[in-house]
Structure 1
Amino acid sequence: MILDIYKDAFEYSAKDWKALIVLGVMCLFSFLIIPAFLIAGYGYRVENTAVHGIINGNDPLPEFDDIFEMFIEGVKVFLVQIAYLLVPMILFILVVAIAGSIDGSVGGDVFIIGGLITFVVGIIACLMAQIGICHMAYNDGAFSKAFAISEIREVLNDIGWLKCLTTYAGLIIITLILSCAVTAIIGIIFTVLGITGGMLGANAGGIFVLGTFINSLVTMFIVGPYLSIFNTRSIGLLYTMQI
């Protein structure tokens, strides 16, 4: 079933390359803050489509319409993520403070153990935040549903915590592999071109710079948006496994 989710998300993310370009442009201007919220809002729409759809269905990619509404949706997603991540952040600060107040190796042991606990809590918080956003989308965007802890815990229990964590870990691994693979392929191509060009008297340095520039463009306008849609679609479909 997890592989079916990945397969669906892979195909779904490539349905409209224009959407990837638009997301890439938003990413380029995300330092202006508003585009960053629009990106989060579009991701929410992808999840909203997924939680109301089925695996291997024929769901279309969301439209870039109602920009103000998409902005508000992005703000809601941001607030949900921040709220859930506050728990591991506060826990980490407490661990650092306690470990720092203890002298010797005991303080180091406290830091290591506390760090591991914080890491586990952080993983759980990230997972609950993602499922919380899906739960909000499934309940017509009701903001309070993102913090309905008992309902979200029930969803996770129905799906299975191990299945959720396995899917989440798989998404991280796939994201890293695809990102590194594309970067490596482009890097190898332009390294070969640079060496060959240098042997023929061309400007090898210029070729390497061009390769870096193209690599950045591909990452920003294709790979990054593609993986963003892939991840949000996958989490949304994971949510449907308990319905």
Structure 2
Amino acid sequence: MILDIYKDSLEYSAKDWKTLVILGVICLFSFLLLPAFLITGYNYRVINTAVHGIINGRDSLPGFDDPIDMFVDGVKVVIVQVLYLIVPMIIFFVFALIAGHVSGVASSALMLIGCLITLIVGVAACLMSQMGICHMAYNDGAFSKAFAISEIKEVIDEIGWFECILTYIGLIIIVIVISVVVTALIGIIFTLFGISGAVLGADPSGVFVLGAFVNTAISMFIVGPYLSIFASRSMGLLYTMQI
């Protein structure tokens, strides 16, 4: 099941490269905040398509119509994510506060325990928030459904907590590996060009600058959008496993 979800999502994300470039352009202006919510809103549309579809279906990538609705959806998603992270943040700050009032080994031990508990609760909170967003999408965008804890827990119970956590962690690993591999390959290619140029007596600095520019451009306009769609699709399909 998990591998099928990944396979479908990897293929789905590459269906329209023009969409990736458009998302990359929007991402370029995300420092203005408004575009960042548009990106989040688009990923929500990907989730919405997934929760109403099936693995290896014929779903197409969502369009960019109704930007106001897309922005509103993005704001809702960000609010859901932030609210779910409040609990692990409180746990961390409580342990940090207590550790600050003791010294020596006790302080280090408290911080270590606090970090471990925060990590465990944080992973659970992230999973709950993602499934909450999926639950919201499945229920026609009803914001309250993102916090219907008992319903979301039932969904996860039906799928299996182990399967959900394994899928989520695997998703993170895939995203990191793809990002690192693509960046490393481009870096190696331009490094070899630079070394070759230096051997021939040319100044390699221009090649290295070009390599850094190409790496940034590919990450922003292709890899980043591709992986965000991949992650959103994967979580949406995971949600459908209980239906």
Q: State the TM bucket, normalised to the shorter chain.
A: over 0.9
Q: Which moved more, 1:10-19 or 1:105-114?
A: 105-114
Deviation for aligned residue 1:203: 2.3
Q: How does 1:131-210 map to 2 (within 5 A)?
A: 131-210=131-210
1: CA distance, partners of 2:61 / 2:133: 18
1: CA distance, partners of 2:189 / 2:106: 51
Q: Which residue of 2 aligns with 1:229?
A: 229
The one-letter amino acid of 2:179's match is: S
The one-letter amino acid of 1:135's match is: H
SS in 2 for 1:58: coil
Q: Which residue of 2 aligns with 1:214?
A: 214
Q: How does 1:1-243 map to 2 (within 5 A)?
A: 1-243=1-243
The one-letter amino acid of 1:161's match is: W
Q: Which moved more, 1:73-82 or 1:96-105?
A: 96-105
The one-letter amino acid of 1:175's match is: V
Question: What whole-Å deviation, never above 9, does each CA across 1:137-171 have from its counterpart, x for those lacking one?
Answer: 00000000000000001111111010011101111
TM value normalised by structure 1: 0.99
In the comparison of the two structures, how many residue pairs are matched? 243
Q: Which runs of 5+ in 1 are unaligned?
A: none
| Identity rate, percent | 66
Question: What whole-Å deviation, never above 9, does each CA across 1:178-206 have from its counterpart, x for those lacking one?
Answer: 11111111111111111111222322110
Runs (4 or more) in structure 1 with deviation over 3 Å come to: none
1: CA distance, partners of 2:16 / 2:201: 41
The one-letter amino acid of 1:106's match is: A
The one-letter amino acid of 1:158's match is: E
2: CA distance, partners of 1:114 / 1:193: 47
Q: Which moved more, 1:157-166 or 1:104-113?
A: 104-113
Q: Which runs of 5+ in 2 are unaligned?
A: none
Deviation for aligned residue 1:64: 0.3
Deviation for aligned residue 1:105: 1.5
Deviation for aligned residue 1:114: 1.6
The one-letter amino acid of 1:93's match is: F
The one-letter amino acid of 1:199's match is: V
Deviation for aligned residue 1:76: 0.2
The one-letter amino acid of 1:3's match is: L
Deviation for aligned residue 1:241: 0.3
- What value does the CA root-mean-square deviation take over the aligned residues? 0.7
1: CA distance, partners of 2:226 / 2:4: 18
2: CA distance, partners of 1:212 / 1:227: 20
1: CA distance, partners of 2:124 / 2:19: 31
